[in-house]
Amino acid sequence: MVPARATGAAVAGADLDRDQAELRFHELYRANFRPVQGYAVNRLGAADDVPDVVAEVFTIAWRRLADVPPPPADRFWLYGTARRVIARRHRSAGRLRNLLGRLAAEWHPTQQPPAGAFDPVTEHVLAALAELKAVDREALLLVHWERLSYAEAAQVLGCSANAVGIRVHKAKARMRALLGEETGGGRHVAVVRPNGAIDGS
Amino acid sequence: MDLDTLLTEAAPARHLPLDGPDSPVAVRLYGQITAQPPGARQSRRRRYAFLSLIGVAATAAAAAVTLALLPGSPAAPGHRGGQGRTTLAAWSVIKEQHGLLRLTIRELRDPAGLQQMLRAAGVPANVRFVHHYFMASTSDRGMPKGCLKPRMSNEANAKLQGKILPIHPWPTGGVAVNIRPSAIRRGIGLYLKAWAASPGTSSGAYLSLQIDLVRATPRCTGS
């Protein structure tokens, strides 16, 4: 039987014995497996790296269980961990051109459409997102894709809610310029397809 | 359609099926994670070691592969596991399908034997086991005496490593890596350095393995 999530608060921060740890991790895992996977998919597309990222995030959570805050902040902690895991993998891939034998594609978050691809409008949005500054993009995506409030996104990013609001505002302004929503003729955005072809728009 | 709606609709996760926590993938992963010792509160140094070693050492430069996983303590050599458990060797080299060798290191013993085994299996290798904390590095100073880096760009080096060291297997205790001997070009060898991040801890030491390409020479790799 799955225990109530409230028990997490009672054990968080304490030295955990094996049973407590498993109980807590079980709840954490069940409640957050899909959201963490969704986060990884949203940042990496349908990349092969998604299962590895999910595995690494939960492995870290298991090893650092005492540091994981109680719900609902545990999800923000996991998102923050996933963000760092992806960033580290990106850095490593950049240095090593893929650590473990798989040549990594250039890391363009959200620019790699999954097989089957999106409709042209979505592809334009994804391509425009890839042109944002990383910190602004992450704030925007946490709010719109992970459906977090500014305060919640601030916990993931380790900044103030006000800073998140500013980043989201800047990101949206840039998106509007790129997509031409307000000007009616913004900058054209190239769409990079999985086969490497570049479509202008 | 306004920007907010466009953005929301564009989320890749909305267009892809996600596995639930009861899916076979999730259940298998859960079992693999919880088979390791649970994480009690750790000292800052210990935590840093773990974070720096799991997956990729962030400080590793262009020409190294570093793997780090928790050793499976029940399988550690020299120790009897529970009833019915077998005792595994400190390391093993197993011929797999498709011309691959699977190297698993469970305990830092007999590096010379492992080196000899790898060379006999067609891998010009230099093997070192380090019994103290070591941070992954590709500095020339980290190379053993008589070993030199190959003359190639970092990118070519990493690409060649990708061919020689394809996707790593999930270790059954220790740290494991697949090696494809047929991808090792003439004049190229492997320098393997394994170390334990924090030996002697109650929950087991973190075994790590760094692999660099080196010039194959009699002094460094035996041929």
Highest mean pLDDT among A46-50, B186-190, B193-197: B186-190
Q: Does A88 touch chain B (CB under 8 A)?
A: yes
Least confident of A87-91, A107-111, B89-93: A107-111
CB pair distance less than 8 Å for A16 and B60: no
On average, the pLDDT of chain B sits at: 70
pTM for the complete prediction? 0.49
Minimal CA separation from A8 to chain B, in Å = 15
Instruction: Provide the CB-side half-sphere exposure for B174 (13 A, CA).
Output: 21
Cis peptide before B218 (omega within 30 of 0): no
Q: What are the chain B neighbours of A88 within 8 Å (beta carbons)? A: 55-56, 58
Q: Does B8 touch chain A (CB under 8 A)?
A: yes
Point out which residues pair with A199 in neighbouring strands. Answer: A191
Least confident of A79-83, A190-194, B171-175, B204-208: A190-194
Q: Does B112 touch chain A (CB under 8 A)?
A: no
For B116-137, what is the mean pLDDT?
80
For B177-201, what is the mean pLDDT?
80
Q: Which residues contact B133 (CB under 8 A, 6 or more apart)?
A: B49, B195, B196, B197, B198
ipTM over 0.85: no
Structure tokens at A153: 């996104």
Q: Does A34 touch chain B (CB under 8 A)?
A: yes
If residue A162 lies in a helix (H) or strand (E), which one and from where to where? helix A161-179
Which residue from B2, B138, B14, B108 is spatially nearest to A176, judged by alpha carbons? B2
Least CB–CB distance from A122: residue in B10, B50, B64: B10
If residue B92 lies in a helix (H) or strand (E), which one and from where to where? strand B91-95
Q: Does A66 touch chain B (CB under 8 A)?
A: yes
Distance CA A137, CA A129 (A): 7
Per the model's pLDDT, the better-predicted residue between A190 and A180 turns out to be: A180
Point out which residues pair with B175 in neighbouring strands. Answer: B105
Q: What are the chain A neighbours of B204 within 8 Å (beta carbons)? A: none
Distance CA B207, CA B125 (A): 19
The DSSP call for residue B132 is: S
Q: Does A181 touch chain B (CB under 8 A)?
A: yes
Of all residues in chain B, the one with the smallest CA distance to A35 is: B18
Of all residues in chain B, the one with the smallest CA distance to A140 is: B7
Strands (E), chain A: 191-192, 198-199
